[in-house]
Amino acid sequence: MKNNKLKGIKLFSNNDSRKQASGKTSTEFMSREIIGKVRKFHQSFPKYQPTPLHSLPKLANKINIKKIWVKDESFRLGLNAFKVLGGSYAIAFYLSCKLGIEIAELSFEALKTPEYKEKLGTITFVTATDGNHGRGVAWTARELDQKAVVFMPKGSSQFRVDNIKKENAEVIVTNEYYDETVKMAANFAAENNGVLIQDTAWEGYIEIPTWIMQGYSTLIDEVLEQMKMQGDLMPTHVFLQAGVGSLAAAIQGYLTTKFGDDRPLTVIIEPHNAACLFKSAQIGDTKPHAVGGSLATIMAGLACGKPNIIAWRVLRDYADFFISCSDGIAAKGMKILGNSLLNDPKIISGESGAVGLGLLVELLTNDSYRDLRKKMSLFKESRVLIFSTEGDTDPDHYRKIVWEGKHSFLG
């Protein structure tokens, strides 16, 4: 792997991502059969609809590439973020195991019936979150007439806290940062006969995080379905923001399983102060490595210091680029998406959701990054897929960035 450090952006090129080598991590956890079960379950939600896949032709023309797509997760089941897909599927899979019924034979509505509730009894689902994952777990628990206890790290947005409380969950805001808060949630679940539904994995805790990652596959499966319906060519690049890496690895695993060597180039994006995947790639000993400190970043959903070990192995073996960037890149993306060029759709994207678009525009419009563009094969014919993973999940902070220009510095 090679390192390039420039103002605002740090890049690692993974020279091993396309090499055929024995011992590479299997991506069969994203097999076609599994994806089919995930989609069938999500389609059983009464309010299920694929979220919009927007095209931004005016912006693509302005920055001199062929195509930009943005998958807009602000419309996901009224929860303003994608996370509910993973939490709901993991909870359903857990309940299917408890009932002894295949997940393919269970709908979301069936799990809500008195018959199944009587068999299952009352279960307390426990998680730690910066906001979106916890809300998805709490929403699912409430819908299924179960309980949820949600731990949140210090500094969590009060708006996000209140949204989780509205789902009838017990919310505990700790005096610790994210990774310590995860430990507290795990201890609470163990001591109180709860079920931990955590969107990261560590040694001894693998099964449920895998189900969560499988739940995320609905996003990319919808995208390819939508592209096919629109007669679009495949993307050449997929930009994937990462906290612990669960979403990024889920999509990477899907693309690798489905397309093999013909898959798009993947770009993994993290904030400078929480770039645990970038650090792991930089060290280059094949192991996951943590970053310490406060993990301070406006990208709350990406403020994670330890990689999901499943995600790390997938990204280590198959992701093409790892990027660490400043908060200003995310702020730039929020402003561009919210103030679109004529006839391009306006997209409300939160701090963690907008970093991919901000990065793409900065790379293609700042001549300081000419060499990076070349390394990443970002040329005139490039077609780039970006995931806006959340809307304005903290509206006050969103306005401070988009209206008042907070966090605009790109250095």
Q: Are residues 266 and 381 in the same domain?
A: yes
On whether residue 194 sits in a domain, the answer given is: yes
On whether residue 72 sits in a domain, the answer given is: yes
Q: How far apart are CA 130 and CA 124, in angstroms?
A: 19
On whether residue 407 sits in a domain, the answer given is: no
CB neighbour burial string for 109-127, b if at least 16 within 10 angstroms, e if fewer: eebeeeebeeebeebbbbb
Q: Are residues 214 and 304 in the same domain?
A: yes
90: helix, coil or strand? helix
On whether residue 203 sits in a domain, the answer given is: no
φ, ψ of residue 135 in degrees (nearest 5): -65, -40
* Catalytic sites, residue numbers: 83, 130
On whether residue 408 sits in a domain, the answer given is: no
The pLDDT tens digits of the residues spanning 116-141 come to 999 999 999 999 999 999 999 999 99
Look at residues 324, 327, 333, 226 and name the one whose alpha carbon lies nearest to residue 267: 324
Predicted pLDDT of residue 407: 86
Q: Are residues 56 and 6 in the same domain?
A: yes
- With 90 as the cut, is the pLDDT of residue 250 above it? yes
On whether residue 158 sits in a domain, the answer given is: yes
Which of 174, 198, 222 marks a domain boundary?
A: 198
* CATH code assigned at 118: 3.40.50.1100
Q: What is the pTM of this model?
A: 0.96
Domain count of the chain? 2
Which of 198, 232, 256 marks a domain boundary?
A: 198
On whether residue 148 sits in a domain, the answer given is: yes
Q: Are residues 177 and 224 in the same domain?
A: no
Q: Are residues 77 and 91 in the same domain?
A: no
On whether residue 411 sits in a domain, the answer given is: no
Q: Are residues 291 and 386 in the same domain?
A: yes
Give the mean model confidence (pLDDT) for residues 244-263: 98
Q: Are residues 191 and 89 in the same domain?
A: yes
Which domain does 140 fall in, by range?
84-198
Q: Are residues 222 and 158 in the same domain?
A: no
Q: Are residues 170 and 235 in the same domain?
A: no
Predicted pLDDT of residue 372: 96
Q: Are residues 350 and 365 in the same domain?
A: yes
Q: Are residues 134 and 271 in the same domain?
A: no
Q: Output the six-digit token pair for 246.
A: 């669960």
Element spanning 344, H or E:
none
The pLDDT tens digits of the residues spanning 310-357 come to 999 999 999 999 999 999 999 999 999 999 999 999 999 999 999 999
- With 50 as the cut, is the pLDDT of residue 2 above it? no
Cβ–Cβ < 8 Å for 306, 179: yes
What interhelical angle do 327-338 and 395-402 show, nearest 10?
90
The pLDDT tens digits of the residues spanning 254-284 come to 999 999 999 999 999 999 999 999 999 999 9
Predicted pLDDT of residue 55: 98
Q: How far apart are CA 275 and CA 269, in angstroms?
A: 8
The pLDDT tens digits of the residues spanning 141-165 come to 999 999 999 999 999 999 999 999 9
- Through-space distance between the first and last CA atoms of the chain, rounded to whole angstroms: 24
Q: Are residues 271 and 362 in the same domain?
A: yes
Predicted pLDDT of residue 204: 97
Which of 137, 168, 198 marks a domain boundary?
A: 198
Predicted pLDDT of residue 409: 73
